[in-house]
Amino acid sequence: MPAVPIWDSARMRVHIGSDHAGYELKNYLIAVLTEDGHELVDHGPDSYDAEDDYPVFCIPAAEAAVADPGSLCIVIGGSGNGEQIAANKVVGARAALAYDLDTARLCREHNDVNVVGIGAGCTPPEEALEMLCASSSQPPSAVTPRHARRIELLADYERTRSSSNA
């Protein structure tokens, strides 16, 4: 398999968490990305449990990525919606749901995401990997003044909990 260009094509640390619905895709991505030389930090689950709860795994994965600048976080569930919502509860996390190549690319280009949510029930493994590559090939949006301004407005709100600047 050819090298997988994740986040600016550099070998990097990737934090990953899922629930039971994302368990198989999580393990697939861990195997492929590790084979390509990336350092994977698995925040769970360690085994399949149909009764597990995604916040238990996705919040710690997002916290770790925020504390580890330059790393990537991937959160996976059935649809990916709840997982990216959970990740967005972490101050400093910018999580977006990638459901096709365009949204995967734009989440990085326009929002400088550090967390990508993927729905395992909606996305075949090879397509999920392709979406991560599409997202990671984009330059950070901070180079675009309009998008940098929007990201700073979000960061201001996180700090102050005031929407007066928005």
Banded model confidence at residue 145, pLDDT cuts 50, 70, 90: confident
Residue from 15, 38, 83, 109 carrying the catalytic annotation? 83
| Ramachandran area for residue 100 (φ above 0: left; ψ -120 to 50: alpha; else beta) | beta
Domains and CATH numbers, the chain: 13-139 (3.40.1400.10)
Cα 61 to Cα 35, 96, 158, 162: the distances in Å are: 21, 14, 19, 27
Question: Pick the catalytic residue: 110, 127, 130, 147?
Answer: 110
User: Is the CB of residue 136 less than 8 Å from the CB of residue 103?
Assistant: no
Q: What is the pTM of this model?
A: 0.90
Supply angle C-alpha 83, 88, 90, rounded to 5.
110
Q: What is the pLDDT of residues 25-49, one digit of tens each?
A: 999 999 999 998 999 999 999 999 9
pLDDT band at residue 88 under the 50/70/90 scheme: very high
Angle at 161 between CA 148 and CA 118, to 5 degrees: 60
Count of CB atoms situated within 10 Å of the CB of 75 = 34
Judged against a pLDDT cut of 50, whether residue 3 lies above it is answered with no
What does the pLDDT average to over 99-114? 90
- Rounded to whole angstroms, the Cα distance separating 160 from 3 reads 42
Neighbours of 46 (CB within 10 A): 9
CA atoms of 11 and 14, how far apart (whole Å): 9
How many other C-beta atoms are found inside a 10 Å radius of the C-beta of residue 52? 17
Q: Is 110 a catalytic residue?
A: yes
Whether residue 55 is preceded by a cis peptide bond, meaning omega within 30 degrees of 0, is no
**pLDDT reading at 2 higher than 50:** no
pLDDT in tens, 52-75: 999 999 999 999 999 999 899 999
Q: Give the percent of the chain with pLDDT over 90.
A: 67
Which whole number is the average pLDDT over 147-152? 85
If one compares 111 and 41, the residue with the highest pLDDT of the two is: 41
